[in-house]
Amino acid sequence: MVARIETGRVIDGFLVDSQIHRGGMATLWSVRHDAYSIPLIMKVPRLAEGEDPAVIVGFEMEQMILPRLTGVHVPRFIASGDFKTTPYIVMERIDGPTLHKRLPDLPLPPAEVADIGARVATALDALHRQQVVHLDVKPSNIMVRPTGEMALVDFGLSRHLQLPDLMDEEFRVPYGTAPYMAPEQILGQRSEPRSDLFSLGALMYFFVTGIRPFGDPQGMKGLKKRLWRDPVPPRGIKPDCPPWLQEIILRCLEVNPALRHPTAAQLALDLRNPGQVQLTARAERLEQDGFFTAWRRRLDIDQLIHVEKPSGDAPIVMVAIDPATQSDAVADAMRANVRHTMSAMPNARLACVNVLKLRRIGMDSTLDEEGENKHMQRLIELRHWARPLGLGEGQVTYHVLEAVSPATAILEFARSNHIDQIVMSARARSTMRSLLGSVSGEVAAEAPCSVTVVRTRGDGEGGEG
C-alpha cells in the first residue's frame, strides 16, 4: 500500500516539512534528513484515479535518468522510493528561481536574452554530453543557481540514449509542452539532441518579443502547423532585435534539425560572440514566408518525417596562436594539424585564439609602436593565419584575450566554451623556459580536454596531453 505524504511524516529517514508545489504530474515537498546538510526536495507522482498513465512512465524515466547525471546544471540526486511502497525522488533543492519568474518582465533586452540563451545552451551541452536529450525545455524547467549557472529540472519526458525509452515504447502520441516542441518531436522522434535547440530558440524568441513563435496549440493539427508555417521574424515584432540575434533564433527554429547548430556548445559560442555570427538572409527578414511557399512546404510535409541525422561529431577545436613569435615552419605544422582535424569532422567549429599579454604592474597602452590598435592588429593576424585553411565564415571565429597569464586565459576560454580539443605550439627551448615552465606545458597539464602541442624538428617531439 502506498504511504500518504503529509507534513510531519518520516519516509525512509526523510522528514516531510511542507508542500511547496503541486503540478500537473507531481507534487513537491520540502524534506530533511540527518545525513544531508543541503536543502532537499521530494518529488512525488500524482497517482489518483483518472491521472494520465504517462505520469507513472515519466516518473520511472526520471528515476532511471537523474541518478546518472552529474554537474551543476542538474539537481543532485539523493534517493528514490519504490512504487510498491512510496514512489518518490529526493534531490537537491536548488536555491534560485525558474526562468518562469521572468515572464512578467517580457520582452527582455536582446543582450539579456542572449546571455540567458548562452547559459541555457551551456547547460544543454552538459546534458547532451551525458547522453540525455531533455525534450521539455521551457522556462519553468530551467532554474538559475545563485552562482549564475542554469540548471535543468524535470526529466520525466527525457530520453537517455543508452537506456530503454519507456515513453516511446508505451505511447503513440508526442509528449511535451506545445509552445516549445520541435517538429521532429511532434512526429515521434525522441533521440535528436537538436530538438532541445529548437525549444531554446522558441524560448529566446518569446523572451525577446513577448510573443510565443507558434502560439499555444492544443491539438495535433495545431502542433504540426510549425512544420510548414514559419513564425513572424523577431525583428518584425521588435525592431530593436539585432540581426545577429534574429539569425541565431531563426536558425534554432529551422524545421530540419540539420540546419540548426550542430551542438549546444556551438550555439553558446555564437551567443557569446555576436560580432562573429555569420549573417544570412534570415537576419534581415521582417515578414513570414509567402502563402505559396508555405503551401509547398505543407504538400511536402511527409518528407520531414525522416530528418537528416548529424554526420559525425561537431566539436569545437581551439587553436592558440602567437603569430609574432611563431616561425613559418611551426605555423605550417599547426595548420596541417588543424586541417587534418577539421577535414575528419565536417561539423567542427574552429576558434582561433591569441592572448594579448598584460603587465602585472602599470598601465598597458592599447596602441603599438606604430600607433595601431593592438587588439585589432591581433584579429587581423589571426584571420591571416587561418586564411590558408580555406574554411567558411561559419566554421571559424577569432578571439583576442587580454590577460596577465596566457595559460590561464587559454584554460578559462576552453572551460567556459566547452572546447573539445586544443592545438598550440611549444616555444623554442631556452633557459627562461626551463626555469619558469611553458605555456603549452601548463595548458596540457590542466586542460579539460585533449591538447595537441605542435613542435618542429629540433624542438622535441609533439604529442598530446
The share of the chain scoring above pLDDT 90, in percent, equals 58
What pLDDT band is residue 432 in, cutting at 50, 70 and 90?
A: very low
214: domain CATH number is 1.10.510.10
CB 249 within 8 A of CB 207: no
For residues 391 and 124, which has the higher predicted lDDT (pLDDT)? 124
Q: How confident is the model at residue 431 (pLDDT cuts 50, 70, 90)?
A: very low
Q: Quote the CA–CA distance of 432 and 429 in Å, as a whole number.
A: 8
- Given 92, 116, 132, the domain boundary residue is 92
* CATH code of the domain in which 34 resides: 3.30.200.20
Task: Say whether both 254 and 332 belong to one domain.
Answer: no
pLDDT tens per residue across span 346-358: 788 898 899 888 8
Same domain? 183 vs 249: yes
Average confidence (pLDDT) over 11-18: 95
Average pLDDT, the chain: 87
Q: Which pLDDT score, from 0 to 100, does residue 299 have?
A: 80
Tell me the whole-structure pTM to 2 decimals.
0.85
175: nearest Cα among 228, 134, 232 = 134
Residue 38 contacts residue 25 (beta carbons within 8 Å)? no
Name the more confident of 409 and 150. 150
pLDDT of 464 higher than 90 = no
| Domain housing 339 | 316-464
17-26, 107-116, 140-149, range with the lowest pLDDT? 17-26
CA distances from 225 to 186, 213, 260, 301 (A): 10, 12, 19, 10
Per-residue pLDDT at 185 exceeds 60: yes
Residue 393 has a pLDDT of 65
**Residue at 181 is within a domain:** yes
| Same domain membership, residue 300 and residue 275 | yes
Task: Confirm if 180 and 202 have CB atoms less than 8 A apart.
Answer: yes
Same domain, 51 and 157: no
Confidence of residue 192 (pLDDT cuts 50, 70, 90): very high
Q: What digits encode the pLDDT tens for the residues 63-96?
A: 999 999 999 999 999 999 987 778 999 999 999 9
**Rounded mean pLDDT, 327-332:** 87
Residue type, 406: P
- Are 260 and 356 contained in the same domain? no
pLDDT surpassing 50 at residue 434? no
Q: Evaluate whether residue 4 is within a structural domain.
A: no
* 166: its cell numbers: 519507456
Same domain (yes/no): 103, 248: yes
Please give the Cα distance from 53 to 159 (Å, whole number).
18
Residue 366 has pLDDT above 70, yes or no: no
Label residue 50 by pLDDT band (50, 70, 90): low
> CA torsion sign, 377 to 111 to 412 to 464?
negative
C-alpha pair distances (Å), 276 with each of 245, 273, 379: 11, 6, 12
Q: By three-state DSSP, how is residue 205 classified?
A: helix
What is the SS3 assignment for 241-288?
A: CCHHHHHHHHHHCCCCHHHCCCCHHHHHHHHHCHHHCCCCHHHHCCCC
Q: Is 75 part of a structural domain of the chain? A: yes
Q: Report the distance separating Cα 405 and Cα 448, nearest Å.
A: 18
CB 279 within 8 A of CB 308: no
Omega within 30 of 0 (cis) for the link into 315: no
- For 94-111, what is the HEC assignment? CCCCEHHHHHHHCCCCHH
Which distant-in-sequence residues (6+ apart) come within 8 Å of 230 by Cβ? 253, 288, 289, 294
End of a domain among 92, 115, 135? Answer: 92
Separation in Å, CA 21 to CA 26, 28, 43, 44, 272: 9, 5, 10, 11, 35
Among 304, 324, 359, which residue terminates a domain? 304
Q: Say whether both 279 and 341 belong to one domain.
A: no
Judge if 118 and 66 occupy the same domain.
Answer: no
d(CA 153, CA 131): 16
For the chain, the first-to-last Cα distance in angstroms comes to 56
Report whether pLDDT(463) > 80: no
Q: What is the mean pLDDT of residues 221-250?
A: 96
User: Over pLDDT 70: what percentage of the chain?
Assistant: 88
* Residue 49, in any domain of the structure: yes
How distant, in Å, are the alpha carbons of 64, 369, 370, 378 from that of 365?
56, 10, 12, 14
Confirm whether 275 is domain-assigned.
Answer: yes
Total residues belonging to the chain: 465
Distance CA 223, CA 185 (A): 10
- pLDDT at position 270 is 97
408 within some domain:
yes
What is the greatest pairwise CA distance in the chain?
82
Query: 151 with 215, same domain?
Result: yes
Q: Which of 141, 66, 157, 40 is nearest to 97 (CA)?
A: 141
Domain assignment of residue 3, yes or no = no
pLDDT at 433 over 60: no
Provide the pLDDT for residue 460.
44
Number of domains in the chain: 3
SS3 441: helix
Cell reading at 124 = 544543454
Answer whether residue 308 shows pLDDT above 90.
Answer: no
Helix, strand and coil content of the chain, in percent to the nearest 5, comes to 40, 15, 40
Q: What is the pLDDT of residue 215?
A: 96
- Beta bridge partners of residue 424, listed in sequence order: 320, 453
316 membership: H or E segment, kind and range = strand 316-320
Q: Which residues of 323-361 are buried (b: 16+ CB within 10 A; e: fewer)?
A: eeebeeebbebbbebbeebbeebebbbbbbbbbbbeeee
Segment 385-391 long-range contacts (CB within 8 Å, at least 24 positions apart): 385/321, 385/323, 385/331, 385/335, 385/352, 386/350, 386/352, 388/335, 389/335, 389/338, 389/339, 389/342, 389/350, 391/342, 391/350
Kindly tell me if the per-residue pLDDT of 237 is higher than 90.
yes
Residue 17 has pLDDT above 90, yes or no: yes
Among 183-197, 354-368, 444-458, the range of highest mean pLDDT: 183-197
Confirm whether 434 is domain-assigned.
Answer: yes
Top pLDDT among 361 and 285 is at 285
User: Do 65 and 165 sit in the same domain of this protein?
Assistant: no
Instruction: Give the mean model confidence (pLDDT) for residues 235-256.
Output: 97
Question: Are 361 and 224 in a shared domain?
Answer: no
State whether 66 and 211 are in the same domain: no
**What mean pLDDT is predicted for residues 411-417?**
88
87-130 pLDDT per residue, tens: 999 999 999 999 999 999 999 999 999 999 999 999 999 999 99
